[in-house]
Amino acid sequence: MTLLVLLDYAAVLVFALTGALVASRAQLDIVGFAFLACLTGMGGGTLRDLLLDRTVFWIADPNYLAVASGAAAVVFFTAHLLESRYRAILWLDAAALGVAVAAGSGIALSLGHSAAITLVMGIATGCFGGLMRDVVANEVPLVLKQGELYVTCAFAGSLATVLVAPLGAVPAALACAAVTIALRAGSMAFGWRLPVYRARPPKS
């Protein structure tokens, strides 16, 4: 199993857990759990592969479906044990974001794409699954919450991939995941935010 495949599996697993936890907050049935888990776990990678004109990863290897569905089943029977499912979602999502961005940017770079495309693929892989999860669950997407460091974290992680790539694939993936997760964790733990637009009354 190559590093990039391992990263894809890890991203699918952890993002699927967040999707299933969101399903538990919405009190869905087991099918709803599986649907949200698969949507969240594989949404970003699907978009990446379609844009890069590759065979979609979970079609080439259906084991990803089993991983996401298994995560949904585990959460369906254990979610009630968590004191704060929302906090668990946030921290799991941060970990998944880091791994997914590393996978997306690493795959783009391994295919010989430019730095710009590598940045876009890292962001798309990391953000799209969670975006679809929140939209389907009728929640405000994390990527759109006021001032939240989310897409910024994915961008910084993808940039780390590009900068560290000359040292090898493993250091680049580690740097990407570390930067992404550290920024996202700082945003949640210390309230790091970007300035937001403040509307002003029109001049008379």
CB 1, CB 19: distance < 8 Å:
no
Tens of pLDDT along 63-101?
Answer: 999 999 999 999 999 998 887 888 999 999 999 999 999
The first and second tokens of residue 4, run together, are 């990039």
Three-state secondary-structure class, residue 26: coil
The pLDDT tens digits for 3-22 are 999 999 999 999 999 999 99
Q: Measuring CA to CA, which residue among 14, 21, 16 is closest to residue 139? A: 21
**What's the CA gap between 179 and 157, in Å, rounded?**
5
pTM here is 0.93
Residues in the chain: 204
